[in-house]
Structures are given as structure tokens and as C-alpha cells.
């Protein structure tokens, strides 16, 4: 691990605290955002890999399209995107999206626990979750 990978670390107006995910296009971090008035809040920062930032126009275009779409969406079942841009970091320029952090368990965690215990999610909970998911998709 290089110093550029060490956490916590500064990333523009954000302090990256913990990597919570990684995919083909980039990484997702739990972060802290600070305001001029000194208020802080937890958020999520999604970054694009450097090699995609600089060399793959298609990947950058997809990310920019995602950002444009995401900032327009507002629904109780969708996390709000409140910032997007490019930050100069130790390993080059990085595109990013910053979005609200929703505290709680995720669906994958619930599914894993159900499988490990050999007990499926109760039907009423599964149907409720599905309904909420569909509402978010409809938005």
C-alpha cells in the first residue's frame, strides 16, 4: 500500500475515512465533508480510476452522464448526490461524485445473514423491501 492509498486522507473538500467498495470503474469511500462554518457530516465519495479518467473517453462520458442523472433525482429511496467534480490527488486527477451517507444495514448484508442462518427473510419484510426498491426505481 502506498502513502497515496493510506486512510484517512484528504481528497479535495473531503476526508476519505474508509474504503467501502471497489468496482470496475473506481472506488467508494466513507468520507467526512466539512463546511466553511465548521460543520461536518458523513458522506460517500465515489471516485473513478485514474486510468479511466485520462484514457477512456467512453468511461468518463458514462460517469458524467451518471452524475447528471443522479443530481436530478430526488426520492426518499434514493441517496442524494450533492457534489461532482474533479480533484487533483497524489495519484493524479480523479473524477468523483459525493452523495449522502445512509446509515444502516444494506440488503446484501441481510441476505447473507439469512443464508448463513438458514432462515429466509420473512415474507412481509421481503415484500416491504421490494416495494421500497420498486418505488426508488420508478423515480
Which range of 14-18, 55-59, 89-93, 110-114 scores highest in mean pLDDT? It is 14-18
pLDDT in tens, 1-39: 455 678 999 999 899 999 999 887 789 999 999 777 778
Q: What is the mean pLDDT of residues 49-56?
A: 63
pLDDT value of position 18 = 96
Helix/strand number for the chain, H first, E second: 4, 6
Q: What is the mean pLDDT of residues 67-93?
A: 85
pLDDT value of position 118 = 95
Distance from CA of residue 38 to its chain's centroid?
A: 23
Q: Which three cell numbers stand for residue 83?
A: 457534489
pLDDT value of position 56 = 62
pLDDT value of position 88 = 83
pLDDT value of position 59 = 76
pLDDT value of position 1 = 47
- In the predicted model, is pLDDT for residue 91 greater than 80? no
Rounded CA gap, 123 and 116, in Å? 18
**End-to-end alpha carbon distance in the chain:** 40
pLDDT value of position 61 = 83
Residue 121 is classified by DSSP as P
- In the predicted model, is pLDDT for residue 53 greater than 70? no
Does pTM top 0.75 for this prediction? Answer: yes
- In the predicted model, is pLDDT for residue 57 greater than 90? no
CA-closest candidate to residue 16, choices 6, 26, 31, 3: 31
Q: Which three cell numbers stand for residue 74?
A: 430526488
Amino acid at each position: 500500500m502506498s502513502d497515496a492509498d493510506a486512510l484517512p486522507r484528504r481528497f479535495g473538500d473531503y476526508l476519505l475515512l474508509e474504503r467501502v467498495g471497489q468496482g470496475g470503474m473506481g472506488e467508494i469511500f466513507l468520507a467526512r465533508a466539512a463546511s466553511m462554518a465548521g460543520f461536518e457530516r458523513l458522506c460517500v465519495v465515489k471516485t473513478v480510476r485514474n486510468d479511466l479518467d485520462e484514457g477512456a473517453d467512453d468511461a468518463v462520458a458514462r460517469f458524467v452522464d451518471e452524475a447528471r442523472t443522479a443530481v436530478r433525482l430526488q426520492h426518499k429511496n434514493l441517496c442524494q448526490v450533492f457534489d461532482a467534480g474533479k480533484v487533483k490527488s497524489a495519484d493524479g486527477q480523479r473524477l468523483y461524485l459525493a452523495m449522502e451517507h445512509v446509515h444502516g444495514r444494506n440488503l446484501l448484508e441481510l441476505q447473507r445473514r439469512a443464508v448463513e442462518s438458514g432462515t429466509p427473510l420473512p415474507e412481509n419484510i421481503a415484500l416491504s423491501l421490494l416495494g421500497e426498491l420498486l418505488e426508488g426505481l420508478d423515480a
